[in-house]
Structure 1
Amino acid sequence: MWRYLAGGVAALLMVAAGWMLFSSRAGTEPVLPAMPQNAPAPPPAVEAGGEAGGADVPEATPRTREEKRFGRYDKDRDGGITNAEYLALRRKAFAKLDTNGDGRLSFEEWSARTAAKFTAADKDRSGVLDAAEFATTAVKRKGKPRCSCPPARNADEDD
């Protein structure tokens, strides 16, 4: 029981220390480290619209998600998306599925992954999946990691 009490007190102390550290830095300016005597001079500061060394500093403009998506499709950057540009991102995926390279997808090519899954699950090669075989086709989802902690000890052992 004393371990729970000690753990609770330690947690409260950590929260209090974190709060004090956060509140002490919340209103202060960042402190710059002291520069050594022989350190080189820092580069000249750049004003919001000024120049540094005679060169204009480019400003980044925020882009929306749709503007970024439009930019990915508009390969020649002419401000318009042609049919060829629109379909270019899909051609690679299509080429993977078009196994015979004739430029047309048959149902068999389109469903090749599913057919391979069925064949792998049909252990007895009967062409029919029974309940046990069908259960192997379920999508494998990652579950929550299980705790690898040692089993809990009895309260009698703590004394």
Structure 2
Amino acid sequence: MGRYIAGAVSAMLLIAAGLFIWETVARQDEPPPPAPPPPAVESPDPMEAPEPAGMGPPPPEATELTREQRRFGRYDRDRDGIITRVEMMSSRTNSFRQLDTNGDNYLTFEEWAVRTSERFAGADADGSGTLTPEEFATTRQRRSSSSSSRSRCNC
């Protein structure tokens, strides 16, 4: 009985393979679709300079940011136009030594957070919990007169 079932399954597989091959050969006999017509070529104007191949439109020009806009952009991590307390505090980690209030040459997180929070609160004039670009401009460190009077070397 198993031989009859195996024979029937084999016959069905051979028929399916034959139909598959027959369909493939039939598709190869069809002619390929016609090629699209070539684009119309305009006669060149002798007064116009030929445009170099591969040249596209000019690149967009970058806008020149002011120093304060660049500084604001460094703090505004998510580029939403406002600086949150988290954004302000995250970029101040390099200032630990300058913020040591008790002079023990160790800066605890609390010392740093208190000083930065006070600075943020002082700059947040409207008390909204965020800094606008105008409010942020008040946080800029003032240059001392000795550093501004130094001449730069033009080597």
TM bucket normalised to smaller: under 0.3
Instruction: Give the structure with higher Rg (CA).
Output: 2
Q: Looking at both structures, which has the greater relative contact order when contacts are Cα pairs under 8 Å and sequence separation is at least 6? A: 2
TM-score by length of 1: 0.27
